[in-house]
Structure 1
């Protein structure tokens, strides 16, 4: 890595940390590039050299989070996935999920549908890869889509404050059982 790319990588990491904090505190819509710039302690030119908009930063945060999960501690099986969901849903306000929902719901209907369809398909593919191969491909794909819908519903309930620890445990346990015995 050259000095320029090392400097750029450090700047991006500072911006990511600042943007995450600002998005969580203010929400997506109320967060400006200037909020992020001040929080990161970076010049306006330095910020715009790295990112052109808050939307670009949010997408980078999500991509960075996804790639870090895969490389470092991504789920190696369905049980790990459920454990990650339990952690995230138990304190959903400390995740980017509320910010992502705010962003997506603020889009025009066509763009919103396109992004949601892509997110749904990507989620279903990722979950399908975690499911036991004892079921047919068709059953596994159906089950993965079903699990994505349930997790999204749990995410919305958690954001709304309508998901307690007991309900979360029951829901995740039912998904575990379903993944083990899809014929139930």
Structure 2
């Protein structure tokens, strides 16, 4: 396949999914997917991860035409994820490996459990991966864990934190891009 829209068409056909269903599952208007398919939008960076997860395909294949379309490098059902506990002092310690069936996420991912945060249910599991760009990130500041939204604007980057603290960006630890969050008992 020579371009993004042709590879997306191939993936939709392979999954037996139409443009309307993909748009509904991503949460965008049908016209957005139509514009991608017609080449008006060349590479929808904001939604690539969602498209790949829904279609269970590799980001490298969809974006660059490299590798196999079947999601090589993705976590297959039954593959273990390393899970770490984040203690009240901010230190991380290996806890165990877990298997979450049907969690197709491309790239290296790590799980973190949280027991001491006012922002998460005790025992929650947050799956993150290293990534840059706009999106939702797990962050830590002065021992508090919270979610941070990053916005990549034309001339600057903005961060919005789900905490009451005044956050000094020089001391903020961005742990990773949030792929999934599971409440205790769901994993």
**TM-score (ref. length: structure 1):** 0.25
Higher helix content, 1 or 2: 1
Higher strand content, 1 or 2: 2
Q: Identify the structure with bigger relative contact order (alpha carbons < 8 Å, sequence gap 6+).
A: 1
